[in-house]
Structure 1
Amino acid sequence: MVDPVVPINDGFELQPYLLGDQGYAMHPWLMVSFSITGMSTPAQHFYNRKHVQGRLSIERAFWLLKARFKISKNGIASSVGWVGKFIHAICILHNVIFINRLGHDDIPSALERVLKKERAAKNLRMRRQGRPDRPDSGHEVRDALVAYVMSKNK
């Protein structure tokens, strides 16, 4: 699978990213909002408002999925690509259950075994490879996002 890349701001290539809160460090793949003391422009305030709205929508959806499927008490330790496929699959299952008004069933134990194997494989990869990205490189991505969002909302 090829990651989608979106060109913005005269050729800046925006890679897929996750939304996080201030408790996380900034990375190219993880955007966090500006701190209250770090916001100085209307564009940064606007970005923060949109960032928080998006994050809250995602949190509500995850709350629903976690409640229905009783998963991720300890988080899903896996590659971003695999987690995306996993979440896509449980969204489909949720929709099938919702549309057909089916009763609540726990996810099969086979799925739990797959999750455990994937977590173990990821932990092994992380120990072998380490984390290659620079902590500050996420700021460049967020700044490009701010400029892009403001250019679309004039």
Structure 2
Amino acid sequence: MNVLAACTFDLKFTYVLPGWEGSALDSRILENAIHNEDNLNVPQGKFYLADAGYMLRSGFITPYRSIRYHLREYSRHPPENPKELFNLRHSSLRNAIERAFGVLKNRFPILSEMSRYNVATVSKIIIACCILHNFLMNFDPDEEIIAQVDRDLMNNVPEDRASRENIARGEDERRGEILRDTIAAKMWNDYIRRQH
């Protein structure tokens, strides 16, 4: 089952949409989330960091394609241009969602054993676990689980789902490109300035 989720940098879920079949394209699920009655809203002047499986748009900024991305790829070779620096920082920040899911799965083992339940029940269990997770992150974040998830993430490169997508370009995607390019250029200028 596919689950679309958004989280904060302190690993709390702010939006969860479970219930999609595993073969559903990420961008199709996102379109549903945006137009659903309990829709995923992008706050004015803000954007979400999304993985390469999603469509680049003004409210959902994806990494540059065909450019180094995963943190491990930069461990011995620093970024050489604005796009590489952007992807490095995008990966570093977007890692929060991977960490949030890792903590969620470690905290609630039932999430790994749900094949016996129907889709409606699985969706309710996922949402309940996310709510409990958010509560526990406030009162008992369990640093040991978080540290284990961080170690696991450093040893695994996440799947790049970009190759599964064939996305039509639109005006919102163009605005997303302009925003991403502007951010990348500013990051690069600051990076070069600090090098000297």
Q: TM-score range by the shorter chain?
A: 0.3 to 0.5
TM-score normalized with structure 2 length: 0.39
Higher relative CO (Cα under 8 Å, sequence separation at least 6) belongs to 1
Alignment TM-score, normalising by the size of structure 1:
0.48
